[in-house]
């Protein structure tokens, strides 16, 4: 083997070794968590975290996690799905108005949207809590929704949390859609205008169908952020109750005075993460197209 060929082979082998090392570095914690979630409590204490325990294999922790988190999962779904859809749709309409429609004050309004992205959660916690608890009598307004107690408890409960996430999600969704609409053909929009199409009709018939890839990006991003949120939920809902979301209930899973049930905690963590994983699976192709665009 010649010198240059040997050097090229060694470089390639070194690259593969580094790649395998990175794969192991990132995947071993995940593997340890999955293996732990299928162990009994006794098997967890007698085996290494990365090694399976075939004599202590059980699905009890997963069923137990579903039982403990079922209420929180339901609350998170009825809160996160509408919040995700509304923030993406409103962001799309706002971006269309800031990109394809000419009107005075666009720059100032767009600057406010940009500024909204950088407002930290901690800066609004106190006024947000005071707003929902003192100035908005949601318990009275939402009384017809008594069939969903989580929506109406604690001055709005999940409804307050949902609207808060919508408000926080609109700026980033607007920025994403505006960047996407900048690449839309001006000739197409102008031709529709010459044909007499209104602003609303252009958005509904031209812009909206072209926005499917970016909707996938916005929906995945927003759903992940909303589903994983704990800070706003603790402030607006509290520690527990009918309106507790899954991240709140996850905190207390497996906690006992005598010992911590780590297999149950790992199973609960994967149950909590499962909806976001499913969203990536179902919208992954469109997400890739939207990111590329």
Dump the DSSP string for 31-66.
HHHHHHHTB-HHHHHHS-TTS--GGGB-SHHHHHHH
* Total count of domains within the chain: 2
Domain range for 281: 68-292
Higher pLDDT, 290 or 247: 247
Same domain, 232 and 95: yes
Q: Are residues 144 and 203 in the same domain?
A: yes
For residues 191 and 268, membership in a common domain is answered with: yes
CATH code for position 153:
1.10.3720.10
Domain co-membership, 126 together with 270: yes
- Position with higher pLDDT, 18 vs 261: 18
**Residue 264 included in any domain:** yes
Alpha-carbon Rg of the chain, whole angstroms? 25
Domain finish residue from 34, 55, 76: 55
Pair (131, 261) in one structural domain: yes
pLDDT tops 90 at residue 79: yes
Query: What global pTM score does this model have?
Result: 0.83
Beta bridge partners of 57: 39
91 and 218 housed in the same domain: yes
Q: Is 63 inside any structural domain?
A: no
Q: Are 25 and 79 contained in the same domain? A: no
pLDDT at 146: 43
More confident residue, 292 or 136: 292
Residue 61 lies in a domain: no
Q: What mean pLDDT is predicted for residues 258-273? A: 88
Q: Which residue has the higher pLDDT, 168 or 9?
A: 168
Q: Are 123 and 40 part of one and the same domain?
A: no
88 or 205: whose pLDDT is higher?
88
Mean pLDDT for 28-38 is 88
What value does the mean pLDDT take over residues 15-40?
89
Judgement on whether residues 23 and 166 belong to the same structural domain of the protein: no
Per-residue burial over 18-40, b if 16 or more Cβ lie within 10 Å, else e, is: eeeeeeeeeeeeeeebebbbbbb
CA gap 21, 23 in Å, rounded:
5
User: Does one domain contain both 229 and 267?
Assistant: yes
Indicate whether 140 and 278 sit together in one domain. yes
Q: Report if residue 62 sits inside a domain.
A: no
Q: Is residue 116 part of a domain?
A: yes
* Most confidently modeled range among 79-93, 141-155, 273-287: 79-93
In a domain, 115, yes or no: yes
CA distance 63 to 233: 25
In a domain, 60, yes or no: no
Answer yes or no: do 179 and 270 share one domain. yes
């Amino acid at each position: 083997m010649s010198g240059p060929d040997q050097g090229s082979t060694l470089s390639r082998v070194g690259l593969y070794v580094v790649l395998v090392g990175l794969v192991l570095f990132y995947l071993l914690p995940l593997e340890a968590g999955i293996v732990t979630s299928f162990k009994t409590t006794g098997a967890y204490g007698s085996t290494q975290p990365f090694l399976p325990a075939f004599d202590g294999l059980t699905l009890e922790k997963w069923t137990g996690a579903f039982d403990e988190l079922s209420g929180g999962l339901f609350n998170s779904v009825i809160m996160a799905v509408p919040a995700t859809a509304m923030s993406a749709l409103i962001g799309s309409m706002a971006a269309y108005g800031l990109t394809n429609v000419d009107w005075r004050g666009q720059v100032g309004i767009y600057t406010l949207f940009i500024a909204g992205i950088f407002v930290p959660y901690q800066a609004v916690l106190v006024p947000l809590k005071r707003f929902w608890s003192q100035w908005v009598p949601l318990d009275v307004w939402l009384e017809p929704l008594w069939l969903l107690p989580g929506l109406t408890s604690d001055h709005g409960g999940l409804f307050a949390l949902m609207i808060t996430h919508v408000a926080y999600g609109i700026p980033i969704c607007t920025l994403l859609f505006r960047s996407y609409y900048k690449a839309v053909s001006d000739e197409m929009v102008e031709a529709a205008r010459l044909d007499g199409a209104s602003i609303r009709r252009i958005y509904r018939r031209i812009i909206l169908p072209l926005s499917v890839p970016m909707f996938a990006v916005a929906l995945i991003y927003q759903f992940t952020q909303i589903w994983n949120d704990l800070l706003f939920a603790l402030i607006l809902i509290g520690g527990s109750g009918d309106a507790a979301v899954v991240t709140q209930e996850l905190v207390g899973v497996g906690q006992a005075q005598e010992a911590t049930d780590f297999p149950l905690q790992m199973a609960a963590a994967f149950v909590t993460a499962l909806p976001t994983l499913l969203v990536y699976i179902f919208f992954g192709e469109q997400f890739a197209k939207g990111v590329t665009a």
